[in-house]
Amino acid sequence: MAKVIAVSNQKGGVGKTTTAVNLAASFAALEKTTLLIDMDPQGNASQGFGFNEAQDRDIHELLDMAENPDLLSYDSIKSTILDTRLEYLKIITAAPDLAALEIELVNKMSRENRLKRVIELLKPHFEFIIIDAPPSLNLLTINTLTAATSVLIPVQCEYFALQGLAELFNTIRLVQKNLNNDLKIEGALLTMYDSRLSLSKQVAEEVRSCISEKVFQTVIPRNVKLGEAPSHGKPVILYDVQSSGSQAYMKLAEEILNKDLNKEITNG
Ligand SMILES: Nc1ncnc2c1ncn2[C@@H]1O[C@H](COP(=O)(O)OP(=O)(O)OP(=O)(O)O)[C@@H](O)[C@H]1O
Ligand SMILES: [Mg+2]
Q: What is the pLDDT of residues 250-263, one digit of tens each?
A: 999 999 999 998 88
What are the two backbone dihedrals, phi and then psi, of residue 137, each rounded to the nearest 5 degrees?
-110, 45
Q: Domain of residue 205: give its range.
A: 3-266
pLDDT at 213: 72
pLDDT at 159: 82
Pocket mutation for ligand 1, best pick of 8, 17, 22 (most atoms within 8 Å of C-beta): 17
Mean pLDDT of 136-164: 93
Mean pLDDT of 109-127: 96
Predicted model pTM: 0.97
pLDDT tens digits, one per residue of 206-245 = 888 888 779 999 999 999 999 999 999 999 999 999 999 9
C-alpha pair distances (Å), 4 with each of 152, 186, 187, 260, 268? 10, 10, 14, 13, 22
CA distance 137 to 147: 15
Give the nearest ligand 1 atom to 11 CA.
25
Yes or no: say if 39 and 151 are a contact pair by the CB < 8 Å rule: no
Is the shortest distance between the CB of 12 and ligand 1 below 6 Å? yes
- Identify the residue whose C-alpha is closest to ligand 1 atom 6: 227
Give the nearest ligand 1 atom to 193 CA.
1
pLDDT at 14: 96
pLDDT at 161: 84
pLDDT tens digits, one per residue of 67-87 = 999 989 999 999 999 999 999
Percent of the chain residues past pLDDT 90, beyond the cut: 81
C-alpha pair distances (Å), 234 with each of 60, 93, 126? 23, 15, 21
CATH number for the domain spanning 214: value is: 3.40.50.300
DSSP 3-state of 208: helix
Is the shortest distance between the CB of 135 and ligand 1 below 6 Å? yes
Residue 107 pLDDT > 90, yes or no?
A: no
Is the shortest distance between the CB of 14 and ligand 1 below 6 Å? yes
pLDDT at 268: 74
Give the nearest ligand 1 atom to 230 CA.
31
What are the two backbone dihedrals, phi and then psi, of residue 90, each rounded to the nearest 5 degrees?
-115, 165
Percent of the chain residues past pLDDT 70, beyond the cut: 100
What own/partner pairs with CB < 8 Å and gap ≥ 24 does 103-112 have?
105/139, 106/139, 108/67, 110/67, 111/139, 111/143, 112/139, 112/142, 112/143, 112/146, 112/179
Yes or no: say if 141 and 176 are a contact pair by the CB < 8 Å rule: no
Residues 6 or more apart whose CB falls under 8 angstroms from that of 131 comprise 4, 5, 6, 7, 20, 36, 37, 39, 115, 144, 147, 148
pLDDT at 194: 93
pLDDT at 163: 84
C-alpha pair distances (Å), 117 with each of 73, 147, 150, 175, 182? 10, 8, 17, 16, 16
CA distance 51 to 106: 28
Residue 11 pLDDT > 90, yes or no?
A: yes
DSSP 3-state of 105: helix
pLDDT at 10: 96
Q: What is the Cα 237 distance to its own chain's centre?
A: 17
The per-residue b/e assignment along 114-138, b for 16 or more CB within 10 angstroms, e otherwise, is bbbbbbbbbbeebbbbbbbbbbebb
Q: In residues, how long is the chain?
A: 268
Taking the CA of 243 as reference, the closest ligand is 1
pLDDT tens digits, one per residue of 165-188 = 889 999 999 999 999 999 999 999
The DSSP secondary-structure symbol of 145 reads H
pLDDT at 209: 87
Whole-number average pLDDT of the chain:
95
C-alpha pair distances (Å), 200 with each of 160, 204, 250? 12, 6, 22
Give the nearest ligand 1 atom to 227 CA.
31
pLDDT at 257: 97
Number of domains in the chain: 1
Alpha helices in the chain (DSSP H): 16-29, 44-47, 59-65, 74-77, 98-105, 114-122, 139-147, 165-178, 198-210, 224-228, 236-239, 244-266
